[in-house]
Amino acid sequence: MRHRVLSNQHGQDAFTDLLFNALLGFVFMFAMAFMMISNPEKSGNIDSKAEMLITIRWPDNHPDDVDAVIEDPRGELVWYYNRDSGLMHLDRDDRGLFADQIEIAGATVRNPLNQETVTVRGIQAGEYVVNLLHFKANYNEPLDVSVKVEKLNPSVSVIYYGEHQLNGSGDEKTAIRFTLDAEGNLLNTNQIPKELLTRATSKPA
């Protein structure tokens, strides 16, 4: 009789453990499903931290070093010696092939892209000047460089896109000058040359 009672108790304990484990499993699956639920209204939204993006590019795998020199409406400059100025920031200073390769497990991995980017984090009324500086040239042939200026908000729009040629170390050219109003509307553009390098180099590094 005692053996029968112990047997029944053991069976009840096992059944209780099974129910408890099943409940734990259900709670775990519910928690995982809840965490994976996404709000479809928020999908595809991009939290942009910039108002404008200025991109300059030259041929992939090219060893030359090209720099962007940008002036804002207050006369502040941003370039590789001064990466932050006012609302402008040099996100990437590309130096051609220099520092574009690393060794991984005995193999050389190279980034072929030659690109500099400057972000503008707020809109100021007035004129912006985008200059190109051929900081270091390795060949005698002219170097093709593209410039793109994009306004990012409320939607992406291209203020300027154009191709330019640089002709050796020290060559500085004005790619585009554009004027915005306080709301960020484009008022006008021109390509009248304006040298910025003299001012940039006169500032402390």
Same domain (yes/no): 16, 67: no
* Whole-number pLDDT of residue 13: 61
Distance, first Cα to last Cα, the chain: 95
Q: Is the dihedral angle over the CA atoms 57, 60, 62, 65 positive or is it negative?
A: positive
Neighbours of 132 (CB within 10 A): 23
For the segment 183-201, the average pLDDT, to the nearest whole number, is 88
Average confidence score pLDDT of the chain: 79
Closest CA to 170 of 67, 92, 79: 67
Tokens of 70: 């940008």
CA atoms within 13 A on the CB side of 37: 6
Task: Provide the Cα torsion 9, 15, 20, 23; round to 10°.
Answer: -160
Whether the CB-CB separation of 135 and 58 falls below 8 Å is answered with: no
Q: Which of the 8 DSSP states describes residue 149?
A: E
Q: Are residues 127 and 86 in the same domain?
A: yes
Residues 34 and 57 in one domain: no
**47 pLDDT exceeds 80?**
no
> Are residues 66 and 114 in contact, defined by beta-carbon separation less than 8 angstroms?
yes
φ, ψ for residue 131, nearest 5 deg: -110, 155
Q: Which of 10-24, 43-57, 78-92, 189-203 has the lowest mean pLDDT?
A: 10-24
Q: How much of the chain, in percent, has pLDDT values that exceed 70?
A: 62
More confident residue, 95 or 61: 61
Does 104 share its domain with 140? yes
The share of the chain scoring above pLDDT 90, in percent, equals 52
- 133-169: per-residue pLDDT in tens? 998 999 999 999 999 999 999 899 999 999 999 999 9
How many independent structural domains does the chain possess?
2
Q: Output the six-digit token pair for 69.
A: 């020199």
User: What count of residues does the chain have?
Assistant: 205
Predicted pLDDT of residue 179 = 98
Residue 91 domain-assigned (yes or no): yes
- Kindly state whether residues 69 and 113 are assigned to the same domain: yes
Is 62 in contact with 135 (CB distance < 8 Å)? no
Between 84 and 108, name the one with better pLDDT: 84
* Same domain for 13 and 74: no
User: CA angle at residue 190 from 189 to 192, to 5 degrees?
Assistant: 155
| Same-domain check for residues 63 and 32 | no
More confident residue, 41 or 160: 160
104 phi, psi to nearest 5 deg:
-130, 115
